[in-house]
Structure 1
Amino acid sequence: MKEFFHVETIEGVLAHAASFSAVGTETVALAECLGRVLAEDAYSDVDIPDFSRSTMDGFAVKASSTFGASEANPAYLNVRGQVKMGVRPDFSIGPGEAARIATGGMLPEGADSVIMIEHTDLLDDTTIEAYRSVAPGQHVIEKGEDIRHAEPALASGTRIRPQEAGLLAACGRTAVTVFRRPMVGIISTGDEVVPVDQVPGEGQVRDINTQSLSGQVMAAGGVPVVFGIVRDNRDDLMKKCRGALETTDMVMISGGSSVGARDFTVEVLDTLPDTGILVHGISISPGKPTILARSGGKAFWGLPGHAVSAMVVFAAVVRPFLDRLCGLTQTVRQFPVKAVLSRNLASAQGRVDYVRVRLDRDEAGGPVMAEPILGKSGLINTMVKADGLIAIGIDTEGLDQGAAVEVMPL
C-alpha cells in the first residue's frame, strides 16, 4: 500500500488504467447499438459498393472518348441507352458511346467514368456533345472502393456513432457484439449532505455530486448506480462499499478522501478483502486528495466532496479508466479548442491547475478568447458558466495574457 497522502502525478495515475480489464460483452440489435463499443471486428458480407456506380447525374462513357474535348472542340458521342436504377445494364459502352445514368446507377460494361450532365448538350435523341474531358474513374466509385469483402470494416474497441451504425448496416449486420455498459456505483458521504428534495438546514448542503457524477458517467457510456448518502459512520460506509463492489464494475465515493478525523474511506479500504490503495493524492488542483484503490480487480475512487473538484477529477483522471472498462481502444480523436488567454493566470509549481474558462470571439472575427472563470472549487455555478478547462502545467508558474491555450470542452 502506498504511503498515506503520497502525491502522484496525473501521468502516474493514468498508468494504472491499463491494469484494469474491460467488462463483458453482449449482442444487441443494430437499432440499439448507438453509443456502444464494438467487442469484435466487423466485416462486410459483400464488397461496398458491390458494383461500380456513378456519383453524378450524367453520361457513362469511356474516358478516352472525351480526351481533348472542349467548348470549342466538343466530343460527339452516340447514346446507347439509359441505365435503370437497381438493374444491371443489358448493354455495354464502346469508344465514342455513352449511356444516360443517374447518381448511384451501375456503370455499363466498358464504361470507366461519368461526364456531368452540365458539361454536355443533347443534339438529338441519340447524340450528345461533351465539352469537358474526364479521367478514368472520375465521378465513379469503383466496386469495393469503400469496403472490401472479408476485410475489417470496423475494429473492435470502436465507439459506434451514427456513421459507424450506417457502415454496419451497409455490411449487412442486423446485430453486433458490444461491450456491455459498465455499472458505476456512486456513493455520497458526510453528515452535512442531505437529499436533493430536502431543504438544507444550517451547516448542511444538498447532494450535488450524485447528480453531476451520474451525468458524467452516462456521457462516457456507463450506467450510474446510485447508492445514496452515507453518514460519517465506519460500519455504514463499509456495508455500502461492500454492496457497491458486489454489484458494479467501478465505485466512486465523493467526500471522505481528505485528511480528517471522520473520514473513514481509507480505513474501510484497508479493511476490505483483496483491496489495496494505489494512489492517495494527485498533483492536480482542484482535486489533490483523490484516492484510487483496487478492490477485487475493480477500480475504487475516493473523490473530493466539493462538486467542482469531483467533476474536474472525473474529466481529467477517472474518465480514461471508464473508457478502459467500456472496451475503448479505437477512440475518436477529440481536438481541444485552440484559444488565446484573455488575462494573466498565476499558478503554483508542482501541480497541474485546471482552470474553468468561457470561450468568446470578438465581433471583428479575431481569435477565440478563453476568459477564466475564477471561483472556489465548491462553487457549482462556475462549471455552469464554463465552456471548458485549460491545464496549467506542473512546472509552470502561470500563463500570460495572450498566451495560446488548448481548451478541453466540457
Structure 2
Amino acid sequence: MQFFKVKSVEETFALIDEKIGKITDTEIRHLDEALHYILAEDITAGENVPGFDRSTVDGYAVIARDTYGSSESMPGFLNVAGEVHMGEEAIKPVGRGEAIYVPTGGMLPPGSDSVLMIEHCEEIGGLLNTYKQIAPGENVIRKGEDIKAGEVLLSEGTRLRPQELGALAALGVSKVKVYRKLKAAYLSSGDEIVPFETKTLETGQIRDINYLTVMGLVNEWDIELIYGGITRDDYQEFAQKARELYEQADCLILSGGSSVGAKDYTTEVIQSLGDPGVFVHGISIKPGKPTILAVADGKPVIGLPGHPASAMIIFKLFGERVFRRLKGERIEHKPERIFARIVKNIASSPGRSDYIRVRLEEKDGEWWAEPIIGKSGLITTLVKSDGIVEIVSGKEGISQGEYVPVILTR
C-alpha cells in the first residue's frame, strides 16, 4: 500500500460518504429526550393539525363579504351574536350581518370564513363597528392546513431539532424510534505529550491540548467520549491500547504520530484493527495534510495530526462528516451560515424588523433563498425551512436577486 497519495477535500468527503455507513442499533425515546437524535423511521401523520378551523388573532369571526366597503371614515355595522371561549367547541353559527368574538387559537364558528382583528373594530352596546374590510380566510388556519392526515411529516434520517419536536408533539406523538447515541474513543500518542493538567513542563514536553478540543467538538455533536489517555511511542503499547478502545466505541480517534517519520506507528496500528483499512492517507489541505481515515471491520478510525490547530480544523471538517454518516443523518450539502440571493420580492413595513423563513437551494453555483410563506401558527413552516432572513427596521423590503444574510436553523 502506498501512502501519502493525497486526496483533495472533495475526494475526501466523497470517500467518507462511500465508505462509512450508519449504525443499525435503534432505540425508542420519549420526545422530551430525543433532541438532536436521528429518526430511524418515517413519521406519518395520523391526524390533521389543527384538528379544527381556528383563529390566529383575537377578534370577531365574520362572513368576509359583510365587511366589504368598511373603512375608518365609513365603518360597517354587525350584530355581536356571542363569544367562543378557549378550549370549547363553537356550536352557534355566524349568520349574515353577525359577528362572534373568538380569541387567538379559538375554534371558528360555523358559517364564518374569516376573523376581523379587534384592532380594526369596536363593539358598542352589542353592535360591532368594522373599520376595515377583510378577505375570506384572513386570520384563519383551516383544519389540516399545517399537517394533513396521511402525509409523511418527517423522513428517516432527519435530525430532530426543536421545530421537529414541536411538529411531532402537535400530532400527539410522545415516543420516536431513533438511532442510538454514538460512542467515540480518543487516544493521544507521543513521548513528548503530557496530561493537560501538568503544571510545570520539562524541556520538550507538550500538554495534551488535542484531547480538550476533540472532546469539546464531540460534546457539541452529542456523542459520548471515552478518553484513553496518552501512550508512549512504543508500537506494542500503542497497538494494545488502540485495540482496547476500538472494541469499546463506534469510532476510534488517534492524535499524533500521523506524520512520516521513524516513530510513525499509527498507520500500522490502524491496519491491524481490521479490513479494509486506510482509505485516505494525506489530504491536500493546509493545515492538516498528514491525516488518516480508515474503516476497520465497519468502524471508522480517524488519525489526526499532532499540531493542535491542524487537529481541530481537520476534526471539525471531516470528523463531523464521519459522525453524521455514522448517526444515519441525511447529508445535505448546505453551509452553516451564508449570504444568499432572494428568489422573489418581499415587502416589509418600515419601523419593524421582519424575519422570513426560507429554504435554501443551490443554482448555478450560488445559494438562493426561497421564502416559505405561511401563517405564524404553522409549525411546518419551521420544519421545511433551512434558515431565517432578517429585514431590518427601516427597510421597505428586499428585491428579487438581492443578497441577504441567512441565519441558519438546521
TM-score, structure 1 as length reference: 0.79
Amino acid at match of 1:158: T
CA distance in 2, matches of 1:40, 1:57: 39
Summarize deviations over 1:261-293 as a string: whole Å, max 9, x none: 011011223333324211111000000000111
Matches within 5 A, 1:361-400: none
Conserved 8 A contact 1:183-1:249: yes
1:109 deviation in Å?
Answer: 0.5
Summarize deviations over 1:351-401 as a string: whole Å, max 9, x none: xxxxxxxxxxxxxxxxxxxxxxxxxxxxxxxxxxxxxxxxxxxxxxxxxxx
Conserved 8 A contact 1:113-1:135: yes
Q: Secondary structure at the match of 2:246?
A: helix
CA distance in 2, matches of 1:277, 1:94: 75
Conserved 8 A contact 2:325-2:331: no
Q: 2:177 maps to what in 1?
A: 177
Range 9-18 or range 279-288, more displaced: 9-18
Q: Secondary structure at the match of 2:78?
A: strand
Structure 2 residue 52 is matched with structure 1 residue 51: yes
Q: Secondary structure at the match of 1:37?
A: coil
CA distance in 1, matches of 2:274, 2:320: 26
Q: Secondary structure at the match of 2:267?
A: helix
After superposition, the CA RMSD in angstroms is 2.0
Summarize deviations over 1:45-99 as a string: whole Å, max 9, x none: 3211111111111100011111222223322111111011111122101221110
Range 17-26 or range 107-116, more displaced: 17-26
Q: Secondary structure at the match of 2:293?
A: strand
CA distance in 2, matches of 1:70, 1:46: 40
Relative distance call for 1:273 and 1:117 in structure 2 (3 A) is: closer
Summarize deviations over 1:216-244 as a string: whole Å, max 9, x none: 11212322121111111111111122122
CA distance in 2, matches of 1:12, 1:183: 26
Conserved 8 A contact 1:63-1:134: yes
CA distance in 2, matches of 1:333, 1:105: 39
CA distance in 2, matches of 1:72, 1:186: 74
1:333 deviation in Å?
Answer: 5.0
Amino acid at match of 1:288: K
Q: Secondary structure at the match of 1:184?
A: strand
Q: Secondary structure at the match of 1:153?
A: strand
Amino acid at match of 1:173: V
Amino acid at match of 2:330: T
1:15 deviation in Å?
Answer: 0.8
CA distance in 2, matches of 1:307, 1:140: 56
CA distance in 1, matches of 2:331, 2:279: 27
Matches within 5 A, 1:306-321: 306-321=307-322
Percent identity of equivalent pairs: 44
Q: 2:16 maps to what in 1?
A: 17
Q: Unpaired runs of 5+ in structure 2?
A: 340-405
Structure 2 residue 34 is matched with structure 1 residue 33: yes
Relative distance call for 1:80 and 1:239 in structure 2 (3 A) is: same
Q: 1:266 maps to what in 2?
A: 267
CA distance in 1, matches of 2:163, 2:211: 33
TM-score, structure 2 as length reference: 0.79
Q: 2:252 maps to what in 1?
A: 251
Conserved 8 A contact 1:63-1:112: yes
Range 38-47 or range 327-336, more displaced: 327-336
CA distance in 2, matches of 1:83, 1:214: 55
Q: 1:69 maps to what in 2?
A: 70
Range 211-220 or range 272-281, more displaced: 272-281
Q: 1:138 maps to what in 2?
A: 138
Relative distance call for 1:270 and 1:330 in structure 2 (3 A) is: closer
Amino acid at match of 1:182: L
Q: 2:148 maps to what in 1?
A: 148
Summarize deviations over 1:163-198 as a string: whole Å, max 9, x none: 222222111111111111221111100011111233
Range 35-44 or range 231-240, more displaced: 35-44
Summarize deviations over 1:310-358 as a string: whole Å, max 9, x none: 00001222211111111211659544356xxxxxxxxxxxxxxxxxxxx
CA distance in 1, matches of 2:122, 2:294: 74
Q: Unpaired runs of 5+ in structure 1?
A: 339-405
Matches within 5 A, 1:197-208: 197-199=197-199, 200-208=201-209
Matches within 5 A, 1:75-114: 75-114=76-115
Q: 1:195 maps to what in 2?
A: 195
Relative distance call for 1:331 and 1:15 in structure 2 (3 A) is: closer
